[in-house]
Amino acid sequence: MDDEAIRVPVFDWLKKQSNIYGDTLPRKTLEEGFVYFGQTIRLVGPQGIWKPKQMDLPLSITTIMDSQYDDRPDSKGFLNYRYRGSDPNHRDNAGLRELMRLRKPLVYFFNIFPGKYLASFPVFVVGDNPQNLSFTVAIDDIAYLNTRGVEDTLSGTERRSYITQTILYRAHQRQFRERVIAAYHSQCALCRLRHAELLDAAHIIGDREEHGDPIIQNGLSLCKIHHAAFDNNIIGINPDYEVLVRQDVLEEIDGPMLKYGLQSLNKSNLILPSRRGDWPDRERLEKRFNSFLKAG
């Protein structure tokens, strides 16, 4: 089976899975893979550098977010991906080096939560750093490369740097969402709605602000309407975890959505995670609550 010919169908299959599952794909789906000309192509395996048996060179690499490995962007905005082990000539490391020589793409999986992965492709190995046992990896745009063929054209450094940093930011935000919603047992912290597809991880302090870290203590699991109400200071939450509704909204007269969806929450208690260490940070809540009071 032609190693190179498998890569484009893999990208097409991943796009279809993203339409089904959204950005985060289940590991089981990636392990099971898909059938290509009568053979099953699996996309991940027990090792971070994965080569299906039908291929001569690696198909994917995987990073566990917040792992012991330093996979943060370098000074050019690209990622460092650690060798497998300490032998530069291990077959997996040699495989990535060969992909770099041939300028052929692979898939980068960010393991953002147990059993859930964000897939980025096409990804190119653009540097080899034996002194620190790592490769330099750049993420590109499949739509751009489809107009030129999927091999590396050695161009677009600024574009790739921007895309790589954007994808890494998105990976951290998806990780934040998964962690927050799991901490709140997949329910809205205000109304207990349990449809995960209607839940967001709301920041208490915005992620572009100081102390806006993507950590559970800076997050709330909220359904989309309550997320919008919280972001627009219609709803406030004080440091004692009491929910308050802005006075002008309390005085409005409208249909049942206003009455039961918003007004009835006034002076109720926030539904907290079962693990106390995951409760919202009181100092962040106080800062955000002051913004709510000013809006009122």
Q: What is the pLDDT, as a whole number, of residue 253?
A: 87
Cα–Cα distance for residue pair 214/177, rounded to 1 Å? 9
Q: Where in the chain is the domain with CATH 2.30.280?
A: 3-178
Q: What is the pLDDT, as a whole number, of residue 69?
A: 46
Residue with tokens 């100092």: 283
Confidence band (pLDDT; 50, 70, 90) for 100?
very high
Q: What is the pLDDT, as a whole number, of residue 4?
A: 79
276-279, Cβ contacts within 8 angstroms, sequence gap of 24 or more: 277/217, 278/183, 278/216, 278/217, 279/217, 279/241
Chain segment 169-207, per-residue pLDDT in tens: 899 999 999 999 999 999 999 999 999 999 999 999 998
Parallel, antiparallel or unpaired: strands 106-113 and 219-223: unpaired
In DSSP notation, 23-66 reads SEEEHHHHHH-EEETTEEE----SSSEE--TT-SS--EEEEETT
Could you give the percent of the chain with pLDDT greater than 70?
94
Are the CB atoms for 136 and 130 separated by under 8 Å? no
- Tell me the fold of 3-178: PUA domain-like (2.30.280)
Lowest mean pLDDT among 34-43, 69-78, 234-243, 260-269: 69-78
Q: What is the pLDDT, as a whole number, of residue 154?
A: 53
pLDDT at 132 over 70: yes
Q: What is the pTM of this model?
A: 0.85
In DSSP notation, the chain reads --HHHHHHHHHHHHHHHHHHH-SEEEHHHHHH-EEETTEEE----SSSEE--TT-SS--EEEEETT-SS---B-TTSPEEEEPSSS-TTSHHHHHHHHHHHHT--EEEEEEEETTEEEEEEEEEEEEEEGGGTEEEEEE--HHHHHTT-SS--S--HHHHHHHHHHHHHHHHHHHHHHHHHHHTTTS-TTT----GGGEEEEESS-TTSTT--SSGGGEEEEEHHHHHHHHTTSEEE-TT-EEEE-HHHHT----HIIIIIIGGGTTEEPPPPSSGGGSPPHHHHHHHHHHHHHH-
Could you give the percent of the chain with pLDDT greater than 90?
80
Q: What is the pLDDT, as a whole number, of residue 181?
A: 97
Lowest mean pLDDT among 83-87, 114-118, 120-124, 159-163: 159-163
Chain segment 43-88, per-residue pLDDT in tens: 999 999 999 999 999 999 999 887 444 556 777 889 999 999 999 9
Residue 106's CB is within 10 A of a number of other CB atoms, namely 23
Q: What is the pLDDT, as a whole number, of residue 180?
A: 98
pLDDT at 296 over 80: no
Sign for the CA dihedral angle at 174, 179, 185, 189 comes to negative
Q: What is the pLDDT, as a whole number, of residue 207?
A: 87
Distances (CA, A) of 265 to 10, 226, 256: 48, 10, 13
Q: What is the pLDDT, as a whole number, of residue 199?
A: 97
